[in-house]
Amino acid sequence: MKNFTRKFYVADTHFGHEMILGHCERPFSSVREMDETMIDLWNATVAPHDIVYHLGDFALSTREHATSVFKRLNGRKYLLFGNHDCRRGPQDPLPHIMALGWEQPPTETLEVKDEGCRVFLSHYAHLTWQAAHRETGWHFYGHSHGNLAHPHPRARDVGVDMPDVSYVPRTFKELTSAAATIKAAA
């Protein structure tokens, strides 16, 4: 039986970041519990051959901790820079984040195809993007930790803090069906 490669999206894991527990009211008693839970959920969902697009703020920790977490996570990983992945912006990325072994050098934005749709990826929410006017144009972002009501019906936060993301990378179908349900209820 052939293994099909799946694509997943996630943002704002903040591995090793003690302050995120209170800032985002994450339901963990310690950063260790948070990290171990997210690693376990990730690996129960993502196979080694799958693709994961991480939309920024991977880890706020020591080089050793970030490296250890990265090596434990399944999948072929791509990073879109978040504000905590850089010192003073994407032109000055943190060397230990850059050196983690991403599938390609991290970047600010990326457009991918998934389920016949064009998906614009960025750590930050954009009001518009190249395919925003098309029914097949989506935008996934992070950074806002669920605190931004995006006005576009095909844009959504894919951060781990979102109730329907729930600390695990999600597929395009999962994210877009959840977005449609959320928008319809509003």
What residues does 80 pair with on adjacent strands? Answer: 107
For residues 23 and 147, give the distance between their C-alpha atoms in angstroms, rounded to a whole number. 12
| Residue 1, in any domain of the structure | no
Residues 6+ apart with CB under 8 A from 171: 6, 7, 8, 9
pLDDT score for 186? 47
pLDDT score for 185? 46
pLDDT score for 180? 60
Task: Per-residue pLDDT tens, the chain, 186 aa: give them.
Answer: 457 899 999 999 999 998 888 888 989 999 999 999 999 999 999 999 999 999 999 999 999 999 999 999 999 999 999 988 777 766 777 889 999 999 999 999 999 999 999 999 999 999 999 999 988 999 999 999 988 888 899 999 999 999 999 999 999 999 999 666 555 444
In total, the chain counts a number of residues equal to 186
C-alpha distances in Å from residue 119, one per residue of 14, 23, 78, 131, 179: 23, 29, 14, 8, 14
| Residue 80, in any domain of the structure | yes
| Residue 2, in any domain of the structure | no
Cβ–Cβ contacts within 10 Å for residue 96, how many?
Answer: 17
Residue 143, SS3 per DSSP: coil
Q: How many domains does the chain have?
A: 1
Determine the structural domain holding residue 48 and report its residue range. 7-185
| Residue 20, in any domain of the structure | yes
Residue 138, SS3 per DSSP: strand
pLDDT score for 101? 96
Q: What is the CATH number of the domain that holds 29?
A: 3.60.21.10
